[in-house]
Amino acid sequence: MTAESTAPVGVLALQGDFREHIAVLRGLGADAVPVRRPAELAEVAGLVIPGGESSVMDKLSRTFGMAEPLKQAIASGLPVYGTCAGLIMLADRVLDGIRGQESLGGLDVSVRRNAFGSQLDSFETDLRIPAVGDEPMHAVFIRAPIVESVGEKATPLAQLDDGRVVAVRQGNLIGTSFHPEITGDTRFHEYFLGLVRERAESAA
């Protein structure tokens, strides 16, 4: 994705660390814009759903009339990358959501929101992720979810040493439990922009 691309990429800006994602994407040469309304969503070639609080993000998406347009965009093949709370939003199944919490769905996975408990709210580790390169990626987990099970449609991209899955892909959807937007390692954002570019080229 280059600055010359006609359609911008969006970052859902209802709640969470959307500014950090916008900065990373712009640093990679993408025209990155905040998305808060259905009309803005309709103009983007891809979308990042940032970290934050998934239950709040869910409520705001419904309050602002974004939930159904987001589901439709995902179903239509829009490239979407969800980090932390964004992964929860993309999961088909949320195992410990609060009462009434809904997800957008699209990823054939089951996730647990409060996977590490109060004693391990945040931690860092190096992960091997062949899909984005040979060098290990330093990953930061902040009150992170975990992928407890991966359905037939989704593919694990990264696992902790104990085998728990922390990154997945399914078609044009990517989800990570961790926050690459704060580490300076841009490979997952580049991976996402590659999906955006591939879809644009296939539609040309």
CATH number at residue 50: 3.40.50.880
Average pLDDT over residues 171-183: 96
Is 3 a member of any domain? no
Whether residue 4 lies in the annotated active site: no
Predicted local confidence at residue 128, as pLDDT:
95
β partners of residue 47: 10, 80
Is 4 a member of any domain? no
Average pLDDT over residues 32-57: 96
Is 21 a member of any domain? yes
Is 2 a member of any domain? no
Predicted local confidence at residue 118, as pLDDT:
53
Q: What is the pLDDT of residues 3-38, one digit of tens each?
A: 444 689 999 999 999 999 999 999 999 999 999 999
Catalytic position from the list 21, 152, 181, 198: 181
Q: What is the pLDDT of residues 103-157, one digit of tens each?
A: 999 999 999 987 776 545 688 999 999 999 999 999 999 889 999 999 999 999 9
- Token duo for residue 101: 């919490």
Domain that residue 178 falls in: 9-203
Whether residue 148 lies in the annotated active site: no
- Total structural domains within the chain: 1
Is 166 a member of any domain? yes
Is 78 a member of any domain? yes
Detail the DSSP E strand segments found in the chain: 9-12, 32-35, 47-49, 80-83, 91-94, 107-112, 122-127, 137-142, 146-150, 155-159, 165-170, 173-176
Catalytic position from the list 179, 189, 190, 198: 179
Is 191 a member of any domain? yes
Predicted local confidence at residue 117, as pLDDT:
62
Catalytic position from the list 84, 152, 189, 190: 84
Whether residue 21 lies in the annotated active site: no
CB 91 within 8 A of CB 49: no
Q: How far apart are CA 35 and CA 97, in angstroms?
A: 24
